[in-house]
Each structure stands twice: as structure tokens, then as C-alpha cells.
Amino acid sequence: MKPVIYLLLLLSQLLLHSNLVVAAGNEYPGRKLYLAVPVIELDDLYNKRKSSVIVDVRSAYEFNTLRIKNALNIPLSDDDFISKMKRLREASGGNPIVVYCNGKTCLKSYKAVAKCRSNNINNVIAYDAGMMDWARKYPDESVLLGKSPINPDRLISKANFNKHLLNPKEFEAMVGGDNVIVLDVRDQFQREGISIFVKKEKRAPLDAQATVDKYIQEAKQDNRVLLIYDQAGKQVEWLMYHLEDKGLRSYYFMKGGARAYFEELRKEFVR
């Protein structure tokens, strides 16, 4: 092969590789932030699922809503995350431990791997395509609200979720109505003793499922609108599965949660 042709072929391969890296970086922003974290792709994990230990590092609420079949739940937020991962490493021998979170923009899987590596827990890999991509492609290997296989049609799209969002001002305006139940689902640490809608709202952290269910049933029976807010507008997306499963149709979430509400107040006062 002539040197010029060889050089052109080499340059084309390098350009292709560069474009693929940029595309992956745009789709998976965490890969650019955690360059040292090894990752496994969706189909590769599926093929290796029986020889790997799969760990969901999201909250217990998210895990109990939708998860990979046979996955374990060790939330990254747990104070004893490292001690649990060390015990798992010892129990699993040399098998790879694969950690995952919600999706391609979620950083918990990378953070979990980085935390393990800094504590000498080896052979831990991030599956960073996340839960939703897995559930769509492998419904037989997914669990939704305790049932498997799942129906992919029951997976909630962003468009459907967005239909139930109100910005903080719209949410606040609806709170003043008589035919509503306002639910604060933040935990005690997120709330820090601060209520937004004093004397109007009920408190039901997501891990208190029986209490949440009570207000869902009350809203359904009395034909009332359920207005729900969390800390940052992310946890309520998983609550939507429970609301739909219970047959509730009149409900709205505060876009951006309490954090967005207080940010709107701050903007008003600094004008």
C-alpha cells in the first residue's frame, strides 16, 4: 500500500474515533468528568449479567419502583456504603461488581465507582446507560412495582411526565383552591423544619409509603387534585408510577421542587 493512501486511511480512522468519542461525551457527560471510571455498555451487561453482581446505587424508593432484575440495592447516600461494598466484594469473590443509577446524565454510578476505587474496592464498573434504557430494551429482566416481566408501554415518557409539571408560581396559585391536597414528600433532612405552604400542606416522605398511599386514596375518593413537591423535582418522577398504578389522574408536581420555589423567592427579593 502506498504511504499516502495508508496515511489517509489512518487519518480517517483517527477522525472517526474522535467523532465517536465526542458523541459519547455529549451523550454521557459523566464520562468526561470521571475519565478513570471504567464503564460497561448496555448489551455487554446483559450478556454478562449472570456472571456479574449488579448493584443499584439509587434510593430505596427508586429501587422499589423500577429496577434491574436480581439487582441489589446499596444507596450511594448510605453512611455505610463503603462497608457494605467491602462485604459484597468479599462475598462475590472475583466477579465484577456493576453499579448503576437512573440514566446517562446521572452521576451516581461514576461517583460510586470512584468512591470504591479510593477505598481499595477493586473490579467495580459503572453501567451508565441507566435504568430506563435497560427497561426499554430488556423488559423481561426488569421489575416494575414488584412485578416482572414488565410492559414497556407502562414506562413513563418525559413528555407524559412534563404534562403533570407546574412551575412554582402556577403550583402556588393552585394551592389556594379548596379542592386540593398539598403533599410535601421531602424527608426530614431536606425539609430542615421549613414548610412552604403552612397549614395547607400534608407531610409524607416517600419512604413512608403507607402515608403517601393514604393521601392518594383520599384524593381519588374525594375527587380532589393532589399537588406534590419534593426537594429538587426529581424524586416525584418515580412517584408518578405509583400514582398511575393507583388510578389517580388529577395530580401535579412542582417543577424543580422546593429548591426552585425558594430560588424564585430569592429573585423577587433581590430586584
pLDDT tens digits along 48-92: 999 999 999 999 999 999 999 999 999 999 999 999 999 999 999
Helix and strand totals (H; E) in the chain: 13, 11
Higher per-residue confidence, 98 vs 25: 98
State how far the Cα of 209 lies from the Cα of 110, in Å rounded to an integer. 29
What pLDDT band is residue 21 in, cutting at 50, 70 and 90?
very low
For domain 158-266, the CATH superfamily is Rhodanese-like domain (3.40.250.10)
State how far the Cα of 205 lies from the Cα of 196, in Å rounded to an integer. 15
C-alpha cell at 8: 489517509
**3-state SS class at 46:** helix
217 neighbors 210 (Cβ within 8 angstroms): no
CATH class entry, domain 34-154: alpha beta
What pLDDT band is residue 271 in, cutting at 50, 70 and 90?
low
pLDDT score of 127: 98
Which is nearest to 194 in space by CA: 229, 170, 225? 229
pLDDT score of 14: 39
- In the predicted model, is pLDDT for residue 18 greater than 60? no
What pLDDT band is residue 139 in, cutting at 50, 70 and 90?
very high
**3-state SS class at 60:** helix
Q: With pLDDT > 70 as the criterion, what percentage of the chain qualifies?
A: 90
Compute how many other C-beta atoms are within 10 angstroms of the C-beta atom of residue 80: 10
User: Strands, DSSP E only, in 91-151?
Assistant: 97-100, 124-127, 142-144
Q: In this structure, which amino acid lies at residue 261?
A: Y
Name the strand (E) or helix (H) holding 56: strand 53-56
- In the predicted model, is pLDDT for residue 182 greater than 80? yes
pLDDT score of 2: 53
pLDDT score of 13: 52
Average pLDDT over residues 243-253: 97
Cβ-proximal residues to 39 (8 Å cutoff; 6+ apart), any chain: 28, 31, 125, 126, 127, 128
Average pLDDT over residues 10-28: 51
174 neighbors 180 (Cβ within 8 angstroms): yes
98 neighbors 112 (Cβ within 8 angstroms): no
Ranges in the chain annotated CATH 3.40.250.10: 34-154, 158-266
Q: What is the mean pLDDT of the chain?
A: 91
- In the predicted model, is pLDDT for residue 8 greater than 70? no
State how far the Cα of 249 lies from the Cα of 220, in Å rounded to an integer. 8
What pLDDT band is residue 188 in, cutting at 50, 70 and 90?
confident
pLDDT score of 195: 87
